[in-house]
Amino acid sequence: MKKGIIKALSFILMTTIILGGMASLPVKAEPSNYKFDFGAGSVEKGYIGVSASDKYNEKTRYGFNTPENMRNVAASGTGAASDAVQFVTYGTKSTNTFNVDLPNGLYEVKVTLGNTARAIIAAEGVYQIINMTGNSATDSFQIPITDGQLNILVTEGKVGTAFTLSALEINKLSHHPVTNRTIYIGGDSTVCNYYPLSGSVQAGWGQLLPQFVDTDAFQVRNMASGGQIARGFRNDGQLEALLKYIKPGDYFILQLGINDTNPKNNTTEAEFKEIMRDMVKQVKAKGATVVLSTPQGRATDFNSEGVHTSVNRWYRHSILALAQEENVPLVDLNVLSSAYFTSIGREATLALYMKGDTLHPNRAGATELARIVAEDLKKQGLNGFVEEKKEV
């Protein structure tokens, strides 16, 4: 009888040890970092090669959702940018996406385009990067993953051009699927990004604003685009993307009006003001801080006394009134930039604009405008801005 009990106890003990050992065996986890090289050419060292025909499957954890709508194409870059895939069907809500399984968390995604005139990056059904231009253009964005998968595609920035992707790098930043504090920017061609980001001749002040931001505290997401009007920013996807992610502690700096005043856009000043008001209210409802900015004038807005002034341009008075009515901070860049232009004179002001163009700043001009914006916001008590220009 005792022998039977001893055998039974021994069996239970052995089973417990075996099961305990199995429980401690490492489980194959989903990767949190990837480097993909797209196209049919050779694969760059350290990258995973992905052809247009590679369909997503649970074993590899990545692939195209509808590879029949993808195409391998050549590209004129080097390394991973020497070939690409083209998205034959596209759109922010398109299911023709490249899918990657990822543990939930916050990620940085770096995108390199192939040969593309102008393209938009969309993920999770909304815009992420607006109007990347030029072959092998590169940019990155933060994105929270909450459903275990990234769904990304390249979509239309300019009608009739190809939308291609050469490389993708994905790196996990945090286990928490919440973006870092963010300064979102809305605007037009005087505000938007130009590529390559680090060396473009033309630039918008939103592109250069990170030089005057404490990037340990904030990231900057420039959602501005050339030719934009208030109705377009609200209705065509940019505000939608912003509202998906913006949160308390974030800022939204909004500068529009230049193109709204153009008769072809059929926007009266009263309509402009109410569309802007609607955007202000929607963002404020998310708990974020809205900042309105007036656009700077033209390089040639000097009077006979050598004073730069453009106070009646670009629906400025309605922007000032709206800021007061909705109790939001205002950067009167129109007046602030005029004071700076007056101080440096006509010729030095012209040197801050694109050659033969009195409206669009060059890189030096965009830097000065970004400095003025940051300095004014710092004076108004908004944190996250620095006085000295820094490299980013």
Kindly report the number of other CB atoms within 10 A of residue 141's CB atom. Answer: 17
Residue from 339, 257, 250, 321 nearest 295 by CA: 257
Residue-by-residue DSSP string for 254-305: E---TTTTSGGG---HHHHHHHHHHHHHHHHTTTPEEEEEPPP--TT-B-TT
- Give Dmax over CA atoms of the chain in angstroms: 116
Model confidence pLDDT, tens digit, residues 345-374: 999 999 999 999 999 999 999 999 999 999
First to last CA, the chain: 79
**Token pair for 384:** 């996250």
Pairing type for strands 251-254 and 289-293 reads parallel
Kindly report the number of other CB atoms within 10 A of residue 73's CB atom. Answer: 19
Partners of 145 in the β-ladder:
105
214 as an active site residue: the answer is no
- Asked whether 186 and 242 are in contact (CB, 8 A), the reply is yes
Q: What is the DSSP letter of 332?
A: -
Helix (H, G, I), strand (E, B) or coil at 234: helix
- List 42, 174, 214, 357, catalytic entry: 357
357 as an active site residue: the answer is yes
One digit per residue, the tens of pLDDT, for the chain of length 392 reads 444 544 544 544 444 444 444 444 344 567 889 999 999 999 999 999 999 999 999 999 999 999 999 999 999 999 999 999 999 999 999 999 999 999 999 999 999 999 999 999 999 999 999 999 999 999 999 999 999 999 999 999 998 899 999 999 999 999 999 999 999 999 999 999 999 999 999 999 999 999 999 999 999 999 999 999 999 999 999 999 999 999 999 999 999 999 999 999 999 999 999 999 999 999 999 999 999 999 999 999 999 999 999 998 999 999 999 999 999 999 999 999 999 999 999 999 999 999 999 999 999 999 999 999 999 999 999 999 998 776 66
Residue from 107, 145, 128 nearest 241 by CA: 128
- Cα(286)–Cα(284) distance, integer angstroms: 5
Residue with tokens 């003990």: 13
360 as an active site residue: the answer is yes
* Domains of the chain, start order: 34-174 (2.60.120.430), 182-379 (3.40.50.1110)
- List 166, 189, 310, 318, catalytic entry: 189
Amino acid at 388: E
Model confidence pLDDT, tens digit, residues 278-288: 999 999 999 99
